Amino acid sequence: MALLTGCNKVRTAVFISGTGSNLKSLIKFSKSKKSPISINFIISNNSEAKGLNYAKIFKIKKKVLNFTNKKLSENNLILILKKNKIEMILLAGFMKILSKNFIKKFKGKILNIHPSLLPKYKGLNTHSRVLNNSEKYSGCTVHFVNSKLDSGKIILQKKVKISKDETAGSLARKILIQEHKLYPKAILKIFNL
């Protein structure tokens, strides 16, 4: 990742689809002195995403793109990101798969958080699959995004222990708490901070 010059923070966009609790924790982090990034744009594929409320609360620009025509939405997205001088993208519960072409344009500049210990349990319904396999541990991973789903270089992981009476819901909540700590840590790590 490029070196930070002066006190300029790296202009970042966060992509969401739902609640946006990771977005909220990233906004909080971005406002701290030690953060190398500022959050300047929120993108969602879902106009009903609860997380979009944070755009209003924190006065951050936002755009909803429905991705029904992926190529059109992504072309639009590229223009928006360029216009707003966005240098980095954080996927935070973004449930659409970006095209190879889009990822190539932001090569090495897109991060994702996934609620499993990758390379195990890529894709959807992670927690129920983990429980069905009677795993003793699960966790979360922050990784660079490449053209293969949930397969880019791993930056950081956090392991959590699965309890005897664990449900998919309780595991999701337990892991989410760790996600909120792990994403900022991973950002500091890629900037060597």
- Closest residue to ligand GAR: CB criterion: 93
Peptide bond into 119 cis (omega under 30): yes
Residues that bind ligand GAR (CB under 6 A): 16, 18-22, 51, 92-93, 113-115, 176, 179
Nearer to ligand GAR, 20 or 184 (CB): 20
Work out the angle between the directed axes of helices 168-190 and 21-30 (0-180°, nearest 10).
30
Q: How far is the CB of 93 from ligand GAR (least distance, A)?
A: 3
**HSE toward the beta carbon, residue 11, CA cutoff 13 A:** 12
Measured distance CA(96)–CA(107) in Å, rounded: 18
Nearer to ligand GAR, 4 or 128 (CB): 128
Nearer to ligand GAR, 19 or 128 (CB): 19
Nearer to ligand GAR, 74 or 179 (CB): 179
Measured distance CA(54)–CA(50) in Å, rounded: 8
Q: How far is the CB of 121 from ligand GAR (least distance, A)?
A: 10
Q: With contact defined as beta carbons under 8 Å apart, do 21 and 53 qualify?
A: no
Q: Read off the amino acid at residue 39.
A: I
Q: How far is the CB of 34 from ligand GAR (least distance, A)?
A: 22
Q: With contact defined as beta carbons under 8 Å apart, do 42 and 60 qualify?
A: yes
Q: How far is the CB of 21 from ligand GAR (least distance, A)?
A: 3
Active site residue: 114, 127, 143, 180, which one? 114
**Residue 114 a catalytic site member:** yes
**135 Cβ partners below 8 Å, 6+ apart?**
162
Residues with catalytic function: 114
